[in-house]
Chains A and B, each alone.
Chain A
């Protein structure tokens, strides 16, 4: 199965382009003709009330679910029914809403596993411990330590992932994702459960990641964080686009306010 169709170099400035994306679960319409595009180097926010389809969208983007209709283009190439591992290889990495680390492995090992997709040693190399394999192993570990330092948990390298504090687990998950050398990093509620100080540090970290050339897609509930961090925001409700634009404009958009606060008593179900 080939994951990419011939590239369509539409806009060199666009990294991800989603059109008409729909996904149903039985009778439930989780996504309905969702469309947006993310520019290279921006921080793009995805918000919406609970059940709006944000995580479903993430799961479709990262190959966990298959869409029923619509297209996703990454760097101009069409992603046709890709698998999660293929997506990671192409350069999209993600974190999970309810952290999915390799809990019984050390923090360092977690990040080293992230390097898997960018390294090559096979069985023969591993068994013979060739010079190239050893060099690659050393490089993997070096890079993993760098990334631990980058997210600020270099002292925790030898601790088991499940022994880390909640905030550090979130950082570790980001470090692990960065180890795959993504060009687009998708974060599912990275600030969930963090206190104010941690959120501030997270904000700095995300800013640094962007400054280093990685585009970010963020689902976040903390409106202040989103408004302060994101360049543009897409609001979903009931699986549909409601509004898109700069944070300040979004905040004043009546449709968004309605989605969050409700308006009239006779709100249609689903539609």
Chain B
């Protein structure tokens, strides 16, 4: 396999080749929605969902992948961001703030929740933290479901609808715009918007990882006591990871609100937290590209299943025996078990994580 490998590494070393690669990737990402739209606009919508999940997973990656804190209630921050957006840009309270004001507010509110949860609990050991965060996620969901009385804050299980779409410089993301002979539907415009956000979040992730802060997180993950003895304030560092992850979750939640136009507590159940965690874990904790791969796979595979499971069963048995959704969840659960057994560091492991998970630790 010498030749292609040599060629690849040769390309990597050449800075011009690197830029050509970046331009090619950028061009194909820009053209992607129009190509997908030919197969059906549903695929563009699913792509948006994948990018949204990638944003969310990259936020969780800071918590789980970088700082090594297992958060099973991450979706709560997404929910907080989503509801913040919905309440500040919908007829529910008849408040209609612009997106550039709400997204930071959502991030700040989610961050506050993150700090509130993190401050008392971050000294707990990993699996306890997981359970507490899980409980926190459930608490948030129960509150969302019930805060319609006596004062109607969340409108309960019915949810909030008619949420304002994003407007950028007079362009309404809720409707189709024609430009240069191309029809930019709302979905496609959101795609570009999300893509820009994704690039920003990727850069933030990569730069954090390769910084004084990122190294401190690595140290805490490796050996907390040694990290403390080297002068790292582990509590603050963990809190920082938690708060940052929460903020990203809040922003992603705001985008979810704007894109969907409707939210209800149903969107923020535990399964969603587990799903996002699975994206991070299956893709490769701590590796930005692995996490994105995880998000894309776990968004697209179920959709593909949805379109294939029923026909395949009809062809095999003459009728549909098992719901696509059930098969999806069964495969998903099995994948989590199998991946941990055979490839614990994920599909695209981060170098350090791979080494950590390869060595048996006696007692952590």
By a beta-carbon cutoff of 8 Å, the part of chain A in contact with chain B is: 62, 64, 83-85, 87-89, 93-94, 96, 100-105, 109, 112-119, 121-123, 125-127, 129, 133, 136-137, 140, 160, 162, 176-177, 179-180
List the A side residues contacting B234 at CB < 8 Å: 85
In the bound assembly, the distance between CA atoms of A162 and B361 in angstroms comes to 13
For B215, the chain A residues whose CB sits under 8 A away are 109, 112-113, 116
Report whether B230 and A126 are in contact in the complex, using a CB–CB cutoff of 8 Å: no
Query: How far is A271 from B293 in the complex, measured between Cα atoms in Å?
Result: 64
Chain B, residues 219-232, CB within 8 Å of chain A (1/0): the string is 10011011111111
Q: Cα distance A119–B211 when bound, in Å?
A: 11
Known: A104-B356, A160-B355. 18 other contacts (CB 8 A): A83-B228, A83-B233, A85-B231, A85-B234, A88-B231, A100-B223, A100-B226, A101-B223, A102-B219, A103-B223, A104-B355, A109-B215, A113-B230, A113-B232, A114-B230, A126-B208, A126-B214, A127-B207
Residues of A within 8 Å of B364, CB to CB, are none
| Interface flags, B336-364, vs A, CB<8A=1, else 0 | 00000000000000001001100100000
Q: How many residue pairs, one in A and one in B, have C-beta atoms under 8 Å apart?
A: 107
Task: Specify which chain B residues have a CB less than 8 angstroms from the CB of A105 in the assembled complex.
Answer: 218-219, 222, 352
- Contacting pair B229 A62 (CB below 8 A): yes
User: In whole Å, how far is B21's beta carbon from the nearest beta carbon of chain A?
Assistant: 21
Q: Give complex CA distance A100, B203 in Å.
A: 32
Q: Indicate whether B204 reaches chain A with its CB closer than 8 angstroms.
A: yes
Specify which chain A residues have a CB less than 8 angstroms from the CB of B226 in the assembled complex: 96, 100-102
Q: Report how far A83 CA is from B232 CA in the complex, Å.
A: 10
Chain B residues near A (Cβ < 8 Å): 203-204, 207-208, 211-216, 218-219, 222-223, 225-234, 240, 244, 352, 355-356, 359
- Least CB distance from A109 to B in Å reads 6
Interface centre among B207, B212, B215, B234 (most CB of A within 10 A): B212
Contact status B230-A88, CB under 8 Å: yes
Nearest-neighbor residue (CB-CB) of A104 within chain B: B355
CB closest residue in chain B, given A115: B212
Q: Which residues on the A side are within 8 Å of B233 (C-beta)?
A: 83, 85
Which chain B residues border A88 with CB–CB below 8 Å? 228-231
Shortest beta-carbon distance from B104 to chain A in Å? 15
What are 11 A-B pairs at a CB distance below 8 A?
A: A85-B230, A88-B231, A96-B229, A100-B225, A116-B219, A121-B213, A126-B208, A127-B208, A129-B207, A137-B211, A160-B355
Question: Chain A residues with Cβ under 8 A from B244's Cβ?
Answer: 123
A243 to B228, CA, bound (A): 32
Interface pair B212/A136, CB less than 8 Å apart: yes
Chain A: which residue is nearest B209 at the CB level?
A: A126
Given contacts A126-B207, A127-B204, contact A180 B213 (CB under 8 A): no
The residues of A that contact B232 with a CB separation of less than 8 Å are 85, 113, 116-117
The A interface, classified by DSSP as helix, strand, loop or mixed, is helix
Decide: B231 and A89 in contact? CB cutoff 8 A: yes
Contact B223 A102 (CB under 8 A): yes
Interchain nearest-CB distance for B345 vs A (Å): 11
Measured CB to CB, the closest approach of chain B to A121, in angstroms, equals 5
CA distance A113 to B232 in the complex (A): 9
> Which of these, A62, A93, A113, A176, contacts B216 with CB under 8 Å?
A113
7 interchain residue pairs of minimum CB distance: A117-B231, A88-B231, A126-B211, A104-B355, A102-B222, A84-B228, A100-B226
Q: Is the CB of A102 within 8 A of B218?
A: yes
Residues of A within 8 A of B212 (CB): 115-116, 119, 121, 126, 136-137, 140
Q: CA separation between A119 and B203, bound complex, in Å? A: 22
| Chain B residues closer than 8 Å to A94, beta-carbon distance | 229
What distance in Å separates the Cβ of A201 from its nearest Cβ neighbour in chain B? Answer: 24
- Measured in the bound complex, the distance between the Cα atoms of B228 and A114 in whole Å is 10
With the chains together, A140 CA to B212 CA distance in Å?
Answer: 9
The reply to whether B228 and A103 form a contact with Cβ atoms under 8 Å apart is: no
Instruction: Report chain A residues within 8 Å CB of B222.
Output: 102-105
Which A residues lie within 8 Å of B230 (CB)? Answer: 85, 88, 93, 113-114, 116-117, 176-177, 179-180
User: Do A162 and B359 form a contact, CB below 8 Å, given A105-B352, A113-B215, A126-B211?
Assistant: yes
Nearest CB of B to A99, in Å: 9
Chain A residues whose C-beta falls within 8 Å of the C-beta of B204 in the assembled complex? 127
A101: chain B residues at CB < 8 Å are 223, 226
Known contacts A85-B234, A180-B231; decide if A123 and B213 are in contact (CB<8 Å): yes
Please, which residue of chain B has its CB at the minimum distance from the CB of A109? B215
Nearest-Cβ distance from residue A69 to partner chain B, whole angstroms: 24
Chain A residues with CB under 8 Å of B240's CB are 123
Smallest distance from the beta carbon of A136 to chain B beta carbons, Å?
7
Bound CA–CA A89/B240 (angstroms): 19
Assess the A113–B219 pair: CB atoms within 8 A: yes
